[in-house]
Structure 1
Amino acid sequence: MAARDYGQYSGISRAVELVGERWALLIIRDLLVGPRRYGELAAGLPRIPSNILAARLKELQAAGVIRRAPRSRVIVYELTPYGRELEPVVLALGAWGFKALDDPREEQIITPDSMTMDLRTAFRPQVALELPATAYAARLGAAELLIRVDGSSLDVRRGDGQVDLAFAFEEGAGIRRLISGELAAECAIATGVVEVLRGRGDLLNRFADTFHLAA
């Protein structure tokens, strides 16, 4: 029995019963990036009370959405195949929610996992297919990501490495303004919204073409 029962027999009501409780979809969002230990999930969702995180994990396991798995002598949480079917739903919700984003408030954070999923949401494989393979390193606060685009394939992971362009956003609003087209790549660099750390600054245009969401 789900934590909430709407008393309706429909696919949508059942889906909301399974994953509609507060924090559930954010847990799923982070697990779409990869398996996580309990502490890693808590660190990525710093406002979630520990009892709520434990309850959501238990509910999602009971629903067959996630499972506990041993990895190198530690227990991680990972999505089941059934849970992974939520990926297009989460990406579509991210694109829909992007339209309502304002500039971030001071207390709001961007985590590596949230930024990874935002990039997956904004990725345009049909555009990338026509562009040369490119590697980027993007930094925004604590989020440091290595982004590799090769044709219609996208790989995003934490860390740094050999890249064609490394850049940093001055503020959280910068990435929204860039991928929405509100701010052109050249202007982003000229105004300091984006700092080129190394590599070819003109490749920021390619990044903005590859990752785009309409505001």
Structure 2
Amino acid sequence: MAARDYGQYSGITRAMELVGERWALLIVRDLLVGPRRYGELGAGLPRIPSNILAARLKELQAAGIIRRAPRSRVIVYELTPYGRELEPVVLALGAWGFKALDEPREEQIITPDSMTMDLRTAFRPLVAAGLPATAYAARFGVAELLIRVEGGELDVSRGDGEADLAFAAGPDIRRLISGQLAPERAISTGVVEVLRGRGELLTRFASTFHIAA
């Protein structure tokens, strides 16, 4: 498995040996969004060296966390049922880490898969269940996502589409999600740019996706 051996016999120790190596959990995070080809994983983690990506994939396969599968004449990597059990762990870790976010550095980017998982982390199904079905077309830097919320269910896919509200935002979207910035203020200060639709629906978005800082 992974090269690291902590010399302790416990569940947490074993978990760290399996997914505690650098980049491993980020690979799992992206595969929680959906199966990915090798090149897609590399594109989603632009700073990972190719030899490290290959090593992590091999280790995660050996641990039974991911597997290679043929899809339309190409090979993709996907999570096994055992690997998908990591989803609540990843979401909880994301919520915990969200509280420690500070101002983004210039070189930091938002990827479609990272933002998808951040939205899953911040999603409040009980709140959403009491709101009308709403579709948002959101552009976070180069990441374009179509976010559909209906009856307490969340669906996020890549690309644009018909939406009740289309908006663009950068990393400062965290200030809206954390409640540090009111929706009206987010629009007036340019943190969120309304592209089409009713801007007041940003209040519904902020109610649906929220993590207290």
In structure 2, what is the equivalent of residue 28 of structure 1? 28
Task: Tell me by how many angstroms 1:152 deviates.
Answer: 1.2
Task: Tell me by how many angstroms 1:192 deviates.
Answer: 1.2
Q: 2:211 aligns with which of 197, 210, 213?
A: 213
Say if 2:33 and 2:113, in contact at 8 Å, map to a contact too. yes
Distance in 1 (CA, whole Å) between partners of 2:55 and 2:178 is 36
Query: Which whole-Å deviations, capped at 9, do the CAs of 1:154-174 have from their partners, x for residues lacking one?
Result: 0001001111000001x312x
Which secondary structure state, in structure 2, belongs to the residue aligned with residue 32 of structure 1? helix
Does residue 189 of structure 2 align to residue 191 of structure 1?
yes
Which secondary structure state, in structure 1, belongs to the residue aligned with residue 195 of structure 2? strand
Which secondary structure state, in structure 1, belongs to the residue aligned with residue 180 of structure 2? coil
Map 1:60-75 onto structure 2 (within 5 A).
60-75=60-75
Which secondary structure state, in structure 2, belongs to the residue aligned with residue 196 of structure 1? strand
Does residue 180 of structure 2 align to residue 201 of structure 1?
no
Task: Tell me by how many angstroms 1:60 deviates.
Answer: 0.1
Which secondary structure state, in structure 2, belongs to the residue aligned with residue 115 of structure 1? helix
Map 1:33-182 onto structure 2 (within 5 A).
33-169=33-169, 171-173=170-172, 175-182=173-180
Which secondary structure state, in structure 1, belongs to the residue aligned with residue 76 of structure 2? strand
Distance in 2 (CA, whole Å) between partners of 1:61 and 1:179 is 35
Which secondary structure state, in structure 2, belongs to the residue aligned with residue 101 of structure 1? coil
Task: Tell me by how many angstroms 1:2 deviates.
Answer: 3.4
Which secondary structure state, in structure 1, belongs to the residue aligned with residue 202 of structure 2? helix
Task: Tell me by how many angstroms 1:178 deviates.
Answer: 0.4
- Provide the identity percentage: 86
What's the C-alpha RMSD, in Å, of the aligned pairs?
A: 0.7
Amino acid at match of 1:213: I
Structure 1 outlier segments of 4+, above 2 Å: none
Distance in 2 (CA, whole Å) between partners of 1:182 and 1:114 is 21
Distance in 2 (CA, whole Å) between partners of 1:197 and 1:138 is 9
Say if 2:124 and 2:209, in contact at 8 Å, map to a contact too. yes
Distance in 2 (CA, whole Å) between partners of 1:120 and 1:191 is 26
Distance in 2 (CA, whole Å) between partners of 1:33 and 1:166 is 22
The alignment covers a number of residue pairs equal to 213
Distance in 2 (CA, whole Å) between partners of 1:151 and 1:9 is 44
Which secondary structure state, in structure 2, belongs to the residue aligned with residue 172 of structure 1? coil
Amino acid at match of 2:80: T
Amino acid at match of 1:110: I
Amino acid at match of 1:72: S
